[in-house]
Chains A and B, each alone.
Chain A
């Protein structure tokens, strides 16, 4: 069975979804990503869905789940490159993904992760 590749990029994990997601693939991604997060001790997850044309309620829930799981594992999740049609679909489905941070493209998503992680690190230092 094919899987979505997860790339390590510094202290972040990079997931680019290039194929149409089916439910099994989404579940596998969820498993792989949580495993990698623990293994690499990453601070951020960037999910690029710019190639994704169809997002159903299941996929929306998986995105939300991934964000919640990443949060428990002390990482921020940023979803980037969502197409207008996909955004409208998700909103019409009532899935507004409150736990997920979003950005327009990979560059801005990376900036968002950097600034969030840096802010958290800075506040950690303040506690010492």
Chain B
């Protein structure tokens, strides 16, 4: 929790994505800690998005009767696109495509 909050200060972050893909199980303690982190981040002026919630974890959370009052996304990609939208940015195709070969160096 401290690490995330310090990183929010250091990077002047507006949005924090917490990806829990690597978390095997979510019990009440883990969920409570997650919620505390989200609340603390909000107090510091950053929005939190929780991503990477696997179906099993979604079921566990509901069965435990915990209400997650945060934006949750299934995948990191969804969370990232929501984060971009929140800061007013976006990723899209350019209208004029560069000629193949001509703009290769620009990427």
Contact = CB atoms under 8 A, between A and B. Distances in A.
Interface of A: 79-80, 82-88, 90-92, 96-97, 102-105, 108-109
Contact of B36 (A83, A91, A105): A91
B6 interface: yes
A104 B45 contact: yes
A96 B43 contact: yes
29 contacts: A82-B43, A83-B9, A84-B5, A84-B6, A84-B9, A84-B40, A84-B44, A85-B2, A86-B43, A87-B41, A87-B44, A88-B1, A88-B5, A88-B40, A91-B36, A91-B43, A92-B36, A96-B39, A96-B42, A97-B43, A102-B45, A103-B45, A104-B13, A104-B14, A104-B45, A104-B46, A105-B12, A108-B45, A109-B45
Contacts of A102: 42-45
A102 B41 CA distance: 10
A84 B11 CA distance: 13
Nearest to B13: A104
* A-B interface, 9 closest residue pairs, ranked by CB to CB distance from nearest: A84-B5, A103-B45, A87-B40, A104-B45, A87-B43, A102-B45, A96-B39, A91-B40, A91-B39
Interface in B22-51: 36, 39-46
Q: How large is the interface on B (under 10, 10 to 19, 20 to 34, 35 or more residues)?
A: 10 to 19
B8 interface: yes
Contacts of A79: 43
A102 B8 CA distance: 13
Of A79, A103, A104, most buried by chain B (CB within 10 Å of CB) is A104
A84 B2 contact: yes
A46 to B, nearest CB: 12
Contacts of A103: 45
Nearest to B12: A104
Contacts of A87: 5, 40-41, 43-44
A88 B12 contact: no
Contacts of B12: 104-105
B43 A90 contact: yes
Contacts of A105: 12, 45
